[in-house]
A and B are shown apart, each in its own frame.
Chain A
Amino acid sequence: MTDIFYTKDHEWIKVNGDEGVVGITSYASEQLGDIVFVELPEKGNSFNQGKDVAVIESVKAASEIYSPASGEIFETNSSLEEKPEIINEDPLDSGWLYKIIIKNKDELKNLMSEEEYKKLIGV
């Protein structure tokens, strides 16, 4: 069973057991415009919830990505290196950024549900 949570900074995390996949929402990718470069974290590094973990650059802005949950990175989306535009095309699926082993599932309580996130962006 996969649950999806959202942050107020427009990141999403899909949780399956102890694994989480992180990406940004359509709203965020639209706001950024054409994405030109993604700076991903290194495998093996650990980050706490809320820490800046990656950078997504578009032509007009560079946006920090904050970790929705604490954990250790075990995989990053290497196809973003050649084609950062995948995030614009498919932010919720093939535009995923990285995968983590979630350290503390209690932290997920701090995040928003899909309903709450939709309210946030006024949908």
Chain B
Amino acid sequence: MRYLPLTNDDREDMKKVIGVSDINEMFTNVPKEVSLDPKFNLPSHKTEMEVGKILSEIANKNINSNQVPFFLGAGAYKHHIPATVDHIIQRSEFLTSYTPYQPEISQGTLQYLFEFQTQVSLITGMDVSNASMYDGSTSTAEAVSMAKRITKRNKVVISPTLHPQYAEVINTLISSNEDEIDYNFSENFEVEKLISKIDDSVSCVVVQNPDFFGSCHSLEQLAEHTHSKGALLIVVVNEIISLGIMKSPGEMGADIVACEGQSLGNPLNFGGPYIGLMSTKDKYVRQLPGRIVGETIDMNGEKGFVLTLATREQHIRREKATSNICTNSGLCSLAFTIHLSLLGEMGFKKLSKLNHEAAIKLYNKLKTLEGFEVTNNSFFNEFTVKLPIDASVFVEKMAEKGILAGVPVSRVSNQEGDFSNLLLVASSEINSDFDRDNFIKLAKEVCYE
């Protein structure tokens, strides 16, 4: 077996040194009631070639985003990833290294994470960031948990336009008392209505920007009211490329920012692995969950990096930990860092503009399509289209015609309400005029033929 270096001779020699003749002698502690070497209804080992064939066959049963015009978003976005990124993350020293608990032999990892933390702080407009979490949804839930700890309050007010699955995750991870979470999924983001829900029993207000339906909001007024009641404002960003041409959450008054970082460096991967970003103000840093890298000096005064503030992590504080997070997104955060290093300030802003421009181009073409209405007044690269037919039916028929047209809102939400005709359509720099013309042409066919 190609991954097992021991030869049978090796095994015999080693057994002699140990003083056993049968391997099962070393499984002595296993009680009699448990059978060793049971029969498994599984095939035996396969060659690389055989494995490659099996998995390729399965992979080919999927239509992938490179094969057809592609317009899906709703929390995961397709962007071009420069060739450099995938090469670097596959270097042995990054791919196959362990968590940087021994800093002397992990300065590579620790330094890029420090750079990552800086990048995340800058784009979100906050003071500090952690070294990443699993994804945007768990970052958001952890942010809520953090706000509850800081304010010592239990109520959570969630904007009606937060990604419904994110709201489900908050609900699962935060206290089981249902009365504490105020969330009613709806297309309408009304600042006044949201403000009216904030009182001094509220720990935090969670708002997504651009929101689930694609709309962009100014949050200064909401921030002011939230703070006046002693609560914290948590801003959630699903498409981080939007931060290139929008005011940062920090600038608008956020106390904690939770983002999905997948758009940079990480392919769609059917939903994972992704990368959760989390940033906050200096004064809250000791409440920030997850791994954090800090700068320090060594015994010779040389600058270096270490994992720090670890006492917040579960393995030291045990019962009093700030969360039970252990792993960060490692390689995914490296991919993010490399991609953003390649882009730099100019590239990031340009990419942001290109995404917005792509959406505007599609928006203009949709205006010519009868029965199709874009419901947003503002958007970055994703908007909501009201269709003349059921959105799930539309999407299936468009797929049959060779185009992945968007995400029906009803697909993502279990909540009450009639969203059956609403479709989320995302654009990005990967879309061409050909893609957009095809969308219009095939949409007409699907709806009117």
Contact = CB atoms under 8 A, between A and B. Distances in A.
Interface string A62-76: 101000000000000
A37 B320 contact: no
Nearest to B318: A62
Contact of A60 (B312, B316, B320): B316
Contacts of A37: 286
Interface string A33-62: 000110100000000000000010111111
18 contacts: A36-B311, A37-B286, A39-B286, A55-B320, A57-B311, A58-B311, A59-B310, A59-B311, A60-B311, A60-B316, A61-B311, A61-B316, A62-B311, A62-B312, A62-B316, A62-B317, A62-B320, A64-B320
A36 to B, nearest CB: 8
Interface in A1-50: 36-37, 39
Interface string B311-332: 1100011001000000000000
A55 B367 CA distance: 61
Contacts, number: 18
Task: Determine chain A's interface SS by DSSP, over half rule.
Answer: strand
A62 B287 CA distance: 13
Contacts of B310: 59
- In terms of DSSP, what is the predominant structure of the interface of chain B? helix
Contacts of B286: 37, 39
B391 to A, nearest CB: 50
Nearest to A55: B320
Given A55-B320, A57-B311, A62-B317, 6 more contacts: A59-B310, A60-B311, A61-B311, A62-B311, A62-B316, A64-B320
Closest 6 CB pairs of A and B: A62-B311, A57-B311, A62-B317, A61-B316, A62-B316, A61-B311
A121 to B, nearest CB: 23
Contacts of B311: 36, 57-62
Interface string B296-312: 00000000000000111
A58 B310 CA distance: 10
A88 B312 CA distance: 21
A80 to B, nearest CB: 14
A37 B320 CA distance: 16
A59 B310 CA distance: 7
Nearest to A58: B311
A59 B306 CA distance: 12
Contacts of A39: 286
Contacts of A60: 311, 316
A85 to B, nearest CB: 15
Interface string B68-111: 00000000000000000000000000000000000000000000
